Amino acid sequence: MKAQPYIVLFEIGSTKLRAAFARRDEDGQLHLADLQEKEGCYMHRGLLENVERVEFDLNHLWLLLSNSCDDFGQAYLCLCNDDDENLRKANAAMIEEIIGLHRGSNRELVYVGSPLKHTVEALTSQEERQKGCLYLDFGAGHTHVQCYYHNKSLIQKSLPVGGDDITNDIASDVEVSLKEAEMLKVRQGNAVSNQVKKAYIRFVQPNTGQTKALLNTDLANRIEDRLTTDCIQPYLKALKGHGFFDRIPMDIVLSGGASQMKGLELLLQNSCPQAGIRRADASSLLAGEDQKYNRPEYHSLLGLLQSLTMFEPPKEGLGRFFRRDPKKKKEEKKKKEPTLTPGIPEEKTKLDKKVDNLMDAIYTD
């Protein structure tokens, strides 16, 4: 196939702002000429917090890309939690403000929404989505969930909890900084407490300078408690209550930076013993020299890049390709929802509404 021109994509996450300069090569694989990122507090509970900070860091990344690549003029912007309708409406004004700052300049931004749907379709097979597939993107500030069955997206939800909540719990319990709490979580943490051999973790408390000791089993219990009470487990419980994993087979695909937590796969397996569990792998999307980017925290960026580079982007942007027509959506709502499979009651096919209501009740601040 013919190599496609380079495109630029900016991705706003809870704690990271990333920019990639990429194209699809002759073999149909992604080649990333450059990837830059900035760290900061860009969103809280899914809401954009500081437009000025986003704009400042975005311009800085734009400058870094311009130094390493030819001037590209137009770029695309996505927001990680834009799959949630309520958050999308709440963030709309701020997104418009960011785009408006570039309108008419030589640095035009085109907003393309959420990368989740495109990531799932890029990192799962058609057979998986036909059989039943639950994609969990466990990030720093959010857990994004997409459920496929018979090649249709049944449920798409953004849960306002992630790896940073676990870090905050540890920092509060142990009285250490967030940076040290993150190191404890990554190096010593485990999602399944009964898999940990009891031992003491020694560290220096920054406020007092005293050496303290923490049982690794207590650390694992704190992590497991957060995951099982208000993170991933309630969602799985809601799906199981509607027949998934039992009457409707469902495999789990795990991704996102926080998914690298030790023991997370075992925790999911204990909760859903019937489900096959695997980690998402983007190696097939990337050219050989770019395999270093095959990391869970980059999967959403790579999935959207894969979709953006599949065709020549129209001049007016990609909104029509990444958004459903509102009129068509309204007409579809009037139609009666079909049953998913024979033998499952009609009322249990309205999973998106029922699970959304349940999740809203669980995750309301």
Q: Over the chain (365 residues), what is each successive 10-residue block's mean pLDDT? A: 75 91 85 91 83 90 80 78 76 88 78 85 91 89 86 82 89 87 90 90 77 88 87 77 78 90 90 89 90 92 86 44 44 46 42 54 46
Query: Looking at residue 57, what is its pLDDT?
Result: 93
Q: Which sequence spans correspond to the domains of the chain?
A: 7-118+288-322, 125-161+232-279+336-363, 163-227
Of the candidates 218, 219, 237, the one whose C-alpha atom is nearest the C-alpha of residue 228 is 237
CA distance linking residue 150 with residue 298, whole number of Å = 27
Q: Which of 73, 82, 160 is nearest to 116 (CA)?
A: 82
CATH superfamily of 125-161+232-279+336-363: ATPase, nucleotide binding domain (3.30.420.40)
Q: Does residue 136 contact residue 325 with C-beta atoms inside 8 Å?
A: no
Is residue 340 a contact partner of residue 149, using CB atoms and an 8 Å limit? yes
Q: What is the pLDDT of residue 173?
A: 87
Paired sense of beta strands 47-48 and 43-44, if any: antiparallel
Q: What is the pLDDT of residue 47?
A: 83
Among residues 229, 261, 243, which one has the least CA distance to residue 339? 243
Please give the pLDDT value at position 66.
80
Question: Which two tokens mark 20?
Answer: 């990639």
| pLDDT of amino acid 331 | 54
- Long-range contacts, stretch 223-226, CB < 8 angstroms, 24+ apart: 223/166, 223/169, 223/170, 223/185, 223/189, 223/190, 223/191, 223/193, 223/261, 224/190, 224/191, 224/192, 224/193, 224/267, 226/161, 226/165, 226/166, 226/169
| Cβ-proximal residues to 16 (8 Å cutoff; 6+ apart), any chain | 37, 38, 39, 40, 42, 140, 297
Q: How far apart are CA 232 and CA 256, in angstroms?
A: 13
The yes or no reply on domain 7-118+288-322 and CATH 3.30.420.40 is yes
Q: Coil, helix or strand for 266? A: helix
pLDDT at 252: 92
Alpha carbon distance 57, 18 (integer Å)? 10
Amino acid code (one letter) for 47: L
- Fold for domain 163-227? Actin; Chain A, domain 4 (3.90.640)
pTM: 0.78
Q: Cβ neighbours of residue 158 under 8 Å, at least 6 residues apart?
A: 46, 81, 83, 84, 87, 142, 143, 144, 145
CA atoms within 13 A on the CB side of 147: 21
Same fold, 7-118+288-322 and 163-227: no
